[in-house]
Structure 1
């Protein structure tokens, strides 16, 4: 039975994954090369637990137990030595992920399942750099991890059914809803979401409508909780571009070509929430949405 896991990467997704597992009484080793990032991750988890307490969905005792279930490490070899599941949640860059999986294959226990939180990169391609392709699987959590119920589980070409079944059951233990799909560019979530976001950006680029109008139409007309341009800002425009490029390269179809406006914004460092400006302006403490001056 899997009760001890390791999470590689302590950013937004990594600390969210660690939070959820630790809250369900798994022992978690959170691994990152950056000590300051690990300290920030633990502070974020504590803050999110406080939010849960304020909403009445957790208690001070549960907070203490959750934080006690997490240890941090900057040494990937030591951090994964006892894990029966490792979840890689590093940045959405194929070269980085492939290098991590090569190292994990050499250092993780032979019976350890290697999962990736990738939102678009081929599971089969990642598995191919290991000697345990049958034990490699996609475990794509949604952001914010403590709130969102879905886990998109992606089979690689050689993933064993027993491994898939184990990850499905594990997701249910986290009170998540697992959906199993097969390996293809963007899988299902981003194969559908990213072309919509890209089309919204094209609509803005071509002057069909403004930022606020595009988002309002999709919120009020299609019952989306957040408009596609605001959502792109929250995901990160650089992340969106990376995923759209995976679709474009994978399908070799012009319908997936990234909008020039998106490319220019990423090149200019306008990445959305993380940089303080994307299609909207983001300032600490300001909850009102203000359209970026370049689009007024």
Structure 2
């Protein structure tokens, strides 16, 4: 792989990850979406946002680097246009974006270092560790997404949807007189009044008993599953019409929901007296992966069906 022409795309990948990570945190802190609170539920919510921000920053930076590479492709040697050359370029851009995504570590660890919480005795270290884990997840996602437009489309659409949900949740809380209440990743309580909490212990790795569905906020669960299904379907349809490979299109619906489930598993909170919408997002995330897959697989099958020839008229 030639070194000629590396500078622009790599610099774009690094800078893009830094800018996207800082922008997400700026909006998150400024609007109160991300808030470091001492209780276990608030702490887990902020950790989940930390991992999402760092992972998406790496993915977005790599995507920006890929666009820059496409603009400079005419200046690259012929060997960089081979399959192996393209794969190596994409890995290089993903690694560069991961370096830029590491900027999220101090931007999250420093604000959390003085938070009094019973969840941990070393808040800055824990937050920094989760931010770094998000960078690693983002690196893997970036490599996959740069090789599948369908998966990249699903991640972008999922990220835009979660940002919209968080913004609406914060506006709803402010309009209801509750002030700037930190939002839950992918969740919003849009019916009822006040903040309802659920007593008991809930973990991402363990279903809480035989009647766990009684702990769900059903409208919120429907919103999460419905969004995963529709985003998976429409993202896959758009990619299929653009001529993407069948396997990538079929699997693309799992990308965004899988990131959500993985974040909750790594954060692995054991929540007590948590907001009902947070418990719902925690327990429903694995099923959102299935819903997303149903949407993308359905669209892949429909797009792959041979078209019937138009009937001939005598």
TM-score by length of 2: 0.26
Q: For the pair shown, which has the larger CA radius of gyration, 1 or 2?
A: 2
More helix by share: 2
Normalised by the size of structure 1, how large is the TM-score? 0.27
**Greater RCO, 1 or 2 (C-alpha within 8 Å, sep 6+):** 2
Which is richer in strand? 1
